[in-house]
Amino acid sequence: MTHLPGQTTTQGAALLADPLLNKGTAFTRPEREALGLDGLLPPAVETLHEQVARAHQAFLGYDKPLNRHIYLRQLQDTNEVLFYRLVTEYLEELLPIVYTPTVGEACRRFSDIYRRPRGLFLAWEDRDRFREILRNRPYKGSVDVIVVTDGQRILGLGDQGVGGMGIPIGKLSLYTAIGGIPPARTLPILLDVGTDNEQLLSDPRYLGRREHRLTGAEYDEMIETFVSAVEAELPGTLLQWEDFATVHARPILTRYRDRLLTFNDDIQGTAAVVLGALSTACQVAGSPLTEQRLVVLGAGSAAVGVADMIRTALVDEGLSEAEAADRFWFVDVDGLLVTSRTDLTEEQRLYARADGEVSGWDGTGLAEVVRHVEPTALIGLSTAHGAFTEEIVRQMASTCERPVIFPLSNPTSHAEAEPADLARWTDGRALIATGSPFPPLEVDGRDVPVAQANNVYIFPAMGLAVAAGGATRVTDRMLVAAARAVARHATRAAAGVPGPAPLLPPLGGMREAAREIAVAAALAAVEDGVAPKATEADLREAVAQTQWTPDYPAS
């Protein structure tokens, strides 16, 4: 990709319309003359640094988060280098706008705010042409990462149909900004299998299929046809499944994880970042992971995925499979998961407790489970706002010196508790990570950021690891290695900081942290035999060479 005279055939207005080639006001005077740009731009010639300052000021001029999101999307569609430089320089400030929580509102309003196409929409009626449609992708070269959704379970908002495309677009923006995957080598995809959201179906502006969702054999056919098209057209591409409903997420992952280079971010990415935060919390509390008693509220695919990842780490640290599973107590809307229940999936049944354990209990709700189990860690993935009540939290804190409490449900309105409340109810002893961003806590007269267990700590680094190391599969040990690297980075970042520190690394340094996390994951891939042999030094060099930097080429 270059802008030097004689090295690009795109000129004039067409050059300015290409977001990968456009430099806007940064085109030099010789470039403007050589590329037919004279008169098409204001006279001033700016540096990228000056453009970033101007773009940031324009961003701040919008008062509503959704309007700021729209501005950033338009900037991305105009000049990718400028967009990514802005995001990388102001990552902590812009992350809640580019992704959660604002992306949820952007998905909900997708048909209202739609401006320009980005990515591919694959509809049921076109299933016989999926490979042909994949060839219509904007940039015809190889693709490192695809993020795909069917829009059924967008954050905590439910079925958003075609509006779910905002999630792959946002995720891939972070693959590039943090992981350094070149933007031309990313591809967002929306599988339009219809929607059961009646409000969308009756909305005259809705841009998706006006049909109820496919189910059963037809849905499975849609997924299989898509996977086959990717295998044929884009072999070796990392395929990330995103925001699929529980009923589909785990079966899809199980069906394809040994066939493709693929993973599910809601199941495995969430799990890895939670393991990273939990590992840091264990270090702070001075209590090893193997001695934790974990109560999990919610038993969907994300919650079970978290337990599976922690269980893998527990086995790696010396416990048997049975001993590791015995560290968990799962509670859903019907109470504790016990063996006599007939509504459990195979994955949930692994964590079901013997019925005899609850003999004499006054019910099996969360409060009663906490009272009897005396957990050291309480993890929420239930979308039940306020479920971690003062009574429950105080009960937990009465039997645990440093209670680990993770209200992880998104968006903020669905969080199981507010961090400020958790700190107050535990006299500041709680070790907290959340799923959505919250204001910092005031501790001893200073602000302490609340760790946000955002998958951004994991998935961009996984993309970088796979691209640099040549992995052919994503294994559980790769994700555990990434989680441990996150914890190590958090510990290093906290060194020398007085008082309490967050359980996860500062977001502002995630681009640098991604390199360390990627090396750890790539090394695990080599050890698992799913990547070519390489030393740690080899992988460090490969990661450094692979990570794309948002810069204009020299004139």
Would you please indicate which residues are annotated as catalytic (active-site) residues? Answer: 99, 171
Determine the Cα–Cα distance for residues 49 and 47; give it in Å rounded to an integer. 5
**Strands (DSSP E) along 449-504, which ranges?**
451-452
**Measured CA distances, 397 to 220, 375, 401, 430 (Å):** 46, 9, 6, 8
CA angle 506, 512, 517 (to 5 degrees): 90
Residue 495 φ/ψ, nearest 5 degrees:
-60, 130
3-class SS at 246?
helix
Q: Which amino acid is at 225?
A: T
Distance CA 437, CA 30 (A): 46
Buried b (16+ CB within 10 A) or exposed e, 101-123: bbbbbbbbbbbebeeeebbbbbb
281-312 burial code (b ≥16 CB/10 A, e <16): bbbbbebebeebbbbbbbbbbbbbbbbbbbbb
What ranges make up the beta strands (E) of 206-350? 238-241, 262-264, 294-297, 328-332, 335-336
Sign of CA dihedral 124, 128, 131, 133: negative
3-state SS, residue 25? helix
DSSP H or E segment with residue 487: helix 476-494
3-state secondary structure of 415: coil
* CB-based contact 453:434 (threshold 8 Å): yes
Q: Are strands 451-452 and 431-434 parallel, antiparallel or unpaired?
A: parallel
Nearest CA among 179, 64, 42, 229 for reference residue 465: 179
Written as six digits, the tokens of 84 are 């990514």
Burial of 196 (0-12, 13-18, 19+ CB in 10 A): middle
Distance from the first to the final alpha carbon of the chain: 12
- DSSP secondary structure, 34-87, as one string: HTT-TTTS-S----HHHHHHHHHHHHHT--SHHHHHHHHHHHHHH-HHHHHHHH
CA angle 313, 457, 389 (to 5 degrees): 75
